[in-house]
Amino acid sequence: MSAAAGRPVALHQFIAALNPHDATGTHTLKLRDALRAAGWRSEIFAEAIHDDLASEAYKHWMYPEHAAEGDVAIYQFTTSSAVAGYLAEHGLPLILDFHNFTGPEYFAGWEPRSVQRAATAAEELALLAPRAVLGMAKSPFSERQLRRAGCRRTAVVPVLADYGRVTAPPDPRVAAELAALGAGGGADILFVGRIVPSKAQHELVKALWAFRRLYDAEARLHLVGGTSSFEYNKALQGFAHDLGLAAAVRMTGEVSDASLAAHFAAADVYLSLSAHEGFGVPLVEAMVAGVPVVTRGAGAVAETVAGAALVLTAADPAYIAAALQRICSDDRLRATLTAAGRRRADEVSGDAAAARIIDAVSEVVTR
Amino acid sequence: MRDTEATLPADPQAYVEQVMAEIAEEVRLRRASGDLPPKLERELDELFLAHSPVAGRGGDLGEALRMVDAATFIDPVVPVDSERAAGAVVKKGMRSLLLWYVGWITHQMSQSASAVSRALHIVDDRLKELERQVEVQRVPGAAVVEFPALHRPDAWWVEPAVAAVAKAPGRVLHAACGDGWLVRRIAAAGGDAYGVDPRSHVVDRAELGILDLRGEGVAEHLRAVAAAGLGGIVLSGTVDGMAGGERTQLLAAIATRLAPGGTLVVHSVSREAWDSAGAPPEADLSPGRPLRPETWCRLLEEGGYEAAAQPGPGGEDFLVTAVRSSVTTPYSPPER
């Protein structure tokens, strides 16, 4: 695949929605910069564009105005989107940058629309994977999914994330608020992610209940992230209330980077009990921030943490509570996990991460 | 709790594994001491389910329709209460001004919702009729079939079954657990075991305060277990009489619930014992009949397990021990 004479090949990215403070959005913007730095022309085309990023991307249907011979499309595959059909129809040489998506089974009984959307995403993956000249996955777990969908050539490449945001100066107001909460004692347990059934925040609430009952009556759980599941969010609030944990479970909604940094700075432990993760950027963010991680080994989680966390095979509250107690009371374990976490974070972040993607792309596209 | 200075272990991986084992032991001791009775954990699950939407509680269409009917009418007369003195007057004025517009919109929305509700009721009626027809041809689920001479603590297969799962990487489930005799044995060997059994009268007799036993079927229970949430599963008396489809569904559920590296143990009676005069009446009433050990091994190997069968001394039964591959692959039933 090479360019017409005298003009560099264009590697344009397509995405369902380009949003700021969003793992895929950040990845797309950073990859655009890396592609340009490597000598390719590169623009972003999206079905939906956040107002704050209006100058960074074009609507996907505007692509013909920018099209040139030799163009290659990189599709940031996260969910179902009109972009998938558009790319299939236009027949551009395609690279799938696969971020994985949550299967319909996780939304069943909660969000009928999400069930339908996830099922459509699976169909779109089956449509595009066999056509792709390269499938880039964020984990071996996702790579196997790409292979099963029919992708013939695949590579595992890192997510380009802004990990530095968790060690940036924290929001002083939020930091003071969290410090005041912590002054009364009790561990601060943190989880970052959308409030949706697949992230299983209700399991976190159960774990908090058991942890408070058995070990630390003052412990708190901070759930940082917005929601796209009204029903699940409502159920979670009701559940916490019925358990007498309404004040101990803090649901912040979406927060700024500075507020996120304050939450990581105040956290004693990062706890994830997600039922499905294609990679898990917040796990790496916790490692960057020096917060020890306790997690279930679902999806790609065990591959993401690569031994730098307590990966539990059982998800019942008694186990989680015992693991939390151990990590909160054992200095040697904390030091071991945070040291391993920082090493692991170095492996998947930094300039080398972008270089790995450029290398993978260079094997199928000439500049 | 941050910025601790501690000596790092020479072999972090081995150290973390040791910590995990200590955590498992701590949990075992806590459970044994009654600090966190299994009943409380079950109540937590039920409490959360009570907050889930109708579909999450088992998809009761009748209840869902009642909710739809209740929500069909949209009231355009908004409340005007206010904490401020003039607030109520202002709100009432605004409501009067806008009522012609809001009322027109809500009237159409109510009509639309009523039409959807009527359509759903028709679907409900037709579904009920279909269910009545299907019921006549329904294949009943397999009951637990236990042979008194084979399902007992001193049976030959108990020792190898316990040894296979005692060090499993996670909790061990026994189905059908009866009064918990095998759960007790696995726990004594160091495993973190619990049991399920659809025969509630058997479970009711068990020492529920000490053992974690639940009165439900294995398939029903596995639906509520998290992916890769179990380190070992022992099936005894549950799969012999299953129809093919029911068995396939159970294996598919096990494939997602059993952690990579986990162990599945199947104890089955032989076909000869199943057809013998001494077999319990439940054997006759079951929709299926036992598979041969070779068939079990083949089924499990096709599902990504390393399986081996061990025949019983009297030819009446056998034990299949299968270790799930450490690479996660979805179970897909072989095409036949």
Enumerate the domain spans of chain B. Answer: 59-137, 158-324
Q: What average pLDDT score do residues B214-226 get? A: 84
Are residues A127 and A178 located together in one domain of the fold? no
Give the A window 229-258 contacts with B, CB below 8 Å. Answer: 231, 234-236, 238-239, 242-243
Residue A306 lies in a domain: yes
Residue B333 binned pLDDT confidence (cut-offs 50, 70, 90): very low
Are residues A177 and A148 located together in one domain of the fold? no
A321 vs A319: CA distance, rounded Å: 5
Residue A22 lies in a domain: yes
- What DSSP string describes A39-66? T-B--EEEEEE-GGGTTT-EEGGGGGGT
Residue that is written with structure tokens 């009748």 in the block: B62
Judge contact between B180 and B211, C-beta under 8 A: yes
Would you call A298 an interface residue with chain B, using a CB distance cutoff of 8 Å?
yes
Residue A5 lies in a domain: no
- Residues in chain B closer than 8 A to A310 (CB atoms): 16, 19-20, 23
Residue A288 lies in a domain: yes
Strand pairing partners for A272? Answer: A295
Q: What pLDDT was estimated at residue A21?
A: 77
Would you call B229 an interface residue with chain A, using a CB distance cutoff of 8 Å?
yes
Q: What angle do CA A22, A23, A27 make, to 5 degrees?
A: 115
Are residues A157 and A170 located together in one domain of the fold? no
Are residues A342 and A235 located together in one domain of the fold? yes
Are residues A196 and A247 located together in one domain of the fold? yes
Would you call A268 an interface residue with chain B, using a CB distance cutoff of 8 Å?
yes
Q: What pLDDT was estimated at residue B330?
A: 46
ipTM of the complex: 0.83
Residue A218 lies in a domain: yes
Q: In this model, does residue B65 exceed pLDDT 80?
A: no
Residue A164 per-residue DSSP state: G
B293 vs B83: CA distance, rounded Å: 75
CB-based contacts of B275, cutoff 8 Å, min separation 6: none
Q: Cβ of A109 and B59 within 8 Å?
A: yes
Q: What average pLDDT score do residues B265-278 get? A: 94
* Count of domains for chain A: 2
Interface test with B, best of A202, A313, A337 (most B CBs within 10 A): A313
Q: What pLDDT was estimated at residue B58?
A: 55
Would you call A127 an interface residue with chain B, using a CB distance cutoff of 8 Å?
no
pTM of the complete model: 0.68
Are residues A52 and A195 located together in one domain of the fold? no
Would you call A332 an interface residue with chain B, using a CB distance cutoff of 8 Å?
yes
A187 vs A171: CA distance, rounded Å: 20
Q: What average pLDDT score do residues B65-86 get? A: 77
Residue B215 per-residue DSSP state: S
Domain holding A330, by residue range, is: 165-348
Q: In this model, does residue B310 exceed pLDDT 70?
A: yes
B280 vs B25: CA distance, rounded Å: 40
Interface test with B, best of A316, A333, A342 (most B CBs within 10 A): A316
- Residues in chain B closer than 8 A to A112 (CB atoms): 55
Q: Which of A15-29, A189-203, B65-79, B277-291 has the lowest mean pLDDT?
A: B65-79
Q: Find the CB nearest B53 among A231, A315, A323.
A: A231
Write out the H or E segment, with its range, that includes residue A342.
helix A331-348
Q: Find the CB nearest B19 among A112, A314, A326.
A: A326
CATH number of the structural domain B158-324 = 3.40.50.150
Tally: H helices and E strands in chain B: 12, 7
Q: What pLDDT was estimated at residue A292?
A: 97
Q: What pLDDT was estimated at residue B320?
A: 96
A/B interface, count of CB pairs below 8 Å: 136
Tokens for A351? 């300039």
B6 vs B61: CA distance, rounded Å: 58
Q: Cβ of B5 and A331 within 8 Å?
A: yes
Are residues A51 and A184 located together in one domain of the fold? no
CATH of the domain at A255: 3.40.50.2000
Are residues A111 and A250 located together in one domain of the fold? no
Are residues A113 and A174 located together in one domain of the fold? no
Would you call B90 an interface residue with chain A, using a CB distance cutoff of 8 Å?
no
